[in-house]
Amino acid sequence: MSEKTFYVYLLASKSRRLYVGVTNNLERRLFEHKSKLVDGFTKHYNIDRLVYFEQTTDVLSAITREKQIKNWNRGKKIRLIEIDNPTWEDLSTEWYKADSSLRSE
């Protein structure tokens, strides 16, 4: 049996409003955000661009890290993003060009 992977991720809108989340299936969760399938903050503010993520096999570590990042000020979140993604590219763009099978899960 393989270990489950958990992701802590940051999404941004075009105007760079931020959202921090945690999931065990990043591709599915991004599809939900991009398709506006879940009512709430990300749908209301059109926050659907993946700008940062981390992964772990420990669910408690993922939840702890999500809470830690959520409590950071905006400047610290921006610095985290810009270490690996200085231009704020949507890291999930290629997932949806190449694979439309996500819709059938």
- Tell me if 22 is assigned to some domain: yes
pLDDT of residue 101 exceeding 60: no
- Tell me if 102 is assigned to some domain: no
In this predicted model, what pLDDT tens digit does every residue of 11-49 receive, in sequence order?
999 999 999 999 999 999 999 999 999 899 999 999 999
CA-nearest of 30, 24, 28 to 52 is 30
- Tell me if 103 is assigned to some domain: no
> DSSP class of residue 61?
H
Tokens of 60: 């408690």
- Tell me if 104 is assigned to some domain: no
Counted domains in the chain:
1
The enclosing domain of 52 has a CATH number of 3.40.1440.10
Q: What stretches of 13-104 adopt beta strand conformation (E)?
A: 18-23, 49-56
Q: How many CB atoms lie within 10 A of CB 11?
A: 25
Domain extent for 50: 6-97
